[in-house]
Chains A and B, each alone.
Chain A
């Protein structure tokens, strides 16, 4: 019984994992694409002509089987990195991406040395 239950759980987990991999949520993509003719709005928030066209193109790209990353690449290729709110990691924004981890590391080291010194006293 236990073995069967484990198998069912495993099957459900795998199917869920497979399902999430396959589904591309167009709303997430809309939210991560900048409306180039608006003031700080995403495609999702805007009703401009440009936003409507981009939404149509995104829908078509999803229909053609493109992944979320491929759609961002397509848009960045046509309009530059500026169109994506969360740009991909590259040599130009390497510092921006690594800085939070660096600060976390330095902060941790400071706290560690502070507690070490106070315990020595």
Chain B
């Protein structure tokens, strides 16, 4: 009996050790990789100017669409902006900018100063629509195809590598 108890204690000890070993070595950083390959949720994004709404049909017309969430108050958005301007020259790609929790006046100044790379411009004043896209901070970008399937999701400002991978996918 005592032998069984000793064995059980040993098994429990090694089990706990194993759980800690696996748990502490696991990367717990939030990842959006689970969204890749899924279809984007129903789109209902308000035009930046006017009371119209962008719907799925507007995005189905484009071969590839990059949905970029940005704001004038967001410093990393300024950092990635030149890359967006470069991407706007790609013929196979449509850029949809979603102005996130921003003031229109400030957003206009931002676009005047740095250039407007967006083919479509929408706004999400309260950030509620962005939650539907799994956005938790800006800038974030989602690359989708004609079938509205998420091909890639970029958390944080776009880098040169991201730029190259987008160009590679769309061509």
Contacts and interface: CB of A to CB of B under 8 A. Distances in A.
Interface of A: 36-37, 49-50, 53-54, 56-57, 60, 78-80, 82, 106, 110, 113-114, 117
- Of the listed residues B101, B128, B132, B136, the one surrounded by the most CB atoms of chain A closer than 10 A to its CB is B136
- Of the listed residues A53, A106, A110, A113, the one surrounded by the most CB atoms of chain B closer than 10 A to its CB is A53
A114 B136 contact: no
Q: What does DSSP make chain B's interface, helix, strand, loop or mixed?
A: loop
B128 A106 contact: no
A114 B1 contact: yes
B130 interface: yes
Nearest to A110: B5
Contacts of A50: 136-137
A54 B128 CA distance: 8
A78 B127 CA distance: 14
29 contacts: A36-B30, A36-B136, A49-B101, A49-B127, A49-B137, A50-B136, A50-B137, A53-B101, A53-B126, A53-B127, A53-B128, A53-B131, A56-B126, A56-B127, A57-B128, A57-B131, A60-B128, A78-B131, A78-B132, A78-B134, A79-B30, A79-B32, A79-B136, A80-B30, A80-B31, A80-B32, A110-B4, A113-B1, A114-B1
A84 to B, nearest CB: 13
B8 interface: yes
